[in-house]
Amino acid sequence: MSAPELRVVRPGLFATIQDLGRVGYQELGMPVAGALDPIALRLANALVGNPAGTAGVEIALLGPALKVEAESVRVAVVGPMALRLEREGEPPAALEPYRTHTLARGDVLALGAVTGASVAYLAVAGGFALEPFLGSLSTYVRAGIGPLGGKPLGDGARIPLGRNAAPAGADVGLPEPPEYGGGPVRVVLGPQDDRFTAAAVETFLSATYRVGKDADRMGLRLEGPTLAHRGTADIPSDGLVTGSIQVPGNGQPILLLNDHQTAGGYAKIATVISADLPRVGRLRPGDPLSFRAVSVEEAEAIRRRQEQAIAGWIRAIRTVRPAGGVDLDALYSENLVSGVVDMRNADDS
């Protein structure tokens, strides 16, 4: 019998293998890469019982269709997207995200359009049997680095599975989708905010920008009021981090995402705090955003609260009913006795 795997039968638009990033090699010019929305990947892994950093499939805009070539597999999709089960001899059946589904050999999981965000995530119980590069399974397409040749999932691609059968136990789900919050994206000013006029900094923190059409895993070009520099936009090249907001000579900000270059020579007006990186990683062309400055201490406190929220979402995972079945947990949690009527003394008329 062949090794267990998922086979791509329809490739979708842009799906890649990603984990939480290739950390520790930026000094060598190696981008971190990794999931644009690490919260969604962590929750998908929690649903299928994987460690938080296990690699999954990041689905951008429109997902692939994957055929199960294993005895069975348990999967979870986290993100606002349509999905369906295609099983031979049966009509296609819609499936829900934010929960697990146990699939059998020959089943096809069709991952459809992502709506309301740019990405969603598929995790598989047991992960993928792939060889890491520099300790990570993240795909960096620009350099062809990562599993499966460092490329997006193409037609006929095969993803080897870590196990041949789904683990025992019932399917589980999140009670509701995770809440990412709203309002301005929070930033720490700098490290070169002194290279901008006071009016430019005020404009940056009060204006509304939109994500331009040039948006990918490397960064988002923002469209809005121009930001004036004190002198030129150029600085001696220095290190960049995910969330850095560079402003080149045209005065239009560029918000750097996971596949950003490791060094650059444009002044950076601010840096998105780590807790808000999943929000900006989900943005699409045309989406509006504004910014609010916080201190480093505030950013650290916000991140601690976010980690507490994620832990709470994971604790709330519960057994879910099979398709067409009865949710016994929900049934037993209701006070059914209060609805009973004692008919012994009721009027016979």
* Domain assignment present for 242: yes
Residue among 16, 21, 24 at smallest CA distance from 33: 21
Say whether 322 sits in a helix, a strand or coil. coil
Say whether 346 sits in a helix, a strand or coil. coil
Question: Are 158 and 207 found together in one domain?
Answer: no
* Domain assignment present for 320: no
Question: Are 150 and 56 found together in one domain?
Answer: yes
- pLDDT for residue 154: 96
Residue among 280, 141, 294, 278 at smallest CA distance from 222: 280
Question: Are 80 and 169 found together in one domain?
Answer: yes
* Domain assignment present for 118: yes
Question: Are 163 and 190 found together in one domain?
Answer: no
Total number of domains constituting the chain: 2
Question: Are 235 and 90 found together in one domain?
Answer: no
Peptide bond into 178 cis (omega under 30): no
H or E element: which one contains 7? strand 5-10
Question: Are 169 and 249 found together in one domain?
Answer: no
Q: What is the CATH number of the domain that holds 273?
A: 2.40.100.10
* Domain assignment present for 315: no
Q: Which domain holds residue 86?
A: 5-173
Q: Can you read off the two tokens belonging to residue 70? A: 């294993």
* Domain assignment present for 178: no
* Final residue in a domain of this structure, among 173, 206, 230: 173
93-123 residue pLDDT tens? 999 999 999 999 999 999 999 999 999 999 9
Question: Are 154 and 9 found together in one domain?
Answer: yes
* Domain assignment present for 254: yes
Question: Are 155 and 233 found together in one domain?
Answer: no
* Final residue in a domain of this structure, among 142, 173, 204: 173
Question: Are 98 and 163 found together in one domain?
Answer: yes
Long-range CB pairs of 179-185, under 8 A, 24+ apart, other chains included: 179/309, 180/39, 180/278, 180/279, 180/282, 181/279, 183/292, 184/289, 184/290, 184/291, 184/292, 185/272, 185/276, 185/279, 185/280, 185/289, 185/290, 185/291, 185/292
Q: Can you read off the two tokens belonging to residue 319? A: 């057994």
Question: Are 100 and 218 found together in one domain?
Answer: no
- pLDDT for residue 321: 76
- pLDDT for residue 323: 54
Question: Are 160 and 199 found together in one domain?
Answer: no
Chain-centroid distance, C-alpha 215 = 16
* Domain assignment present for 238: yes
- pLDDT for residue 343: 40
What residues contact residue 28 under an 8 Å CB cut-off, 6+ apart?
none
Half-sphere exposure of 255 (CA within 13 A, CB side): 31
Question: Are 252 and 273 found together in one domain?
Answer: yes
* Final residue in a domain of this structure, among 144, 173, 202: 173
Across the beta sheet with 99-104, what order do the strands follow? 14-18, 56-60, 119-124, 72-78, 99-104, 172-173, 318-319
- pLDDT for residue 2: 82
* Domain assignment present for 120: yes
> Is residue 111 within 8 Å of residue 63, measured between CB atoms?
yes
Low-confidence ranges of the chain (pLDDT < 70): 1, 322-349
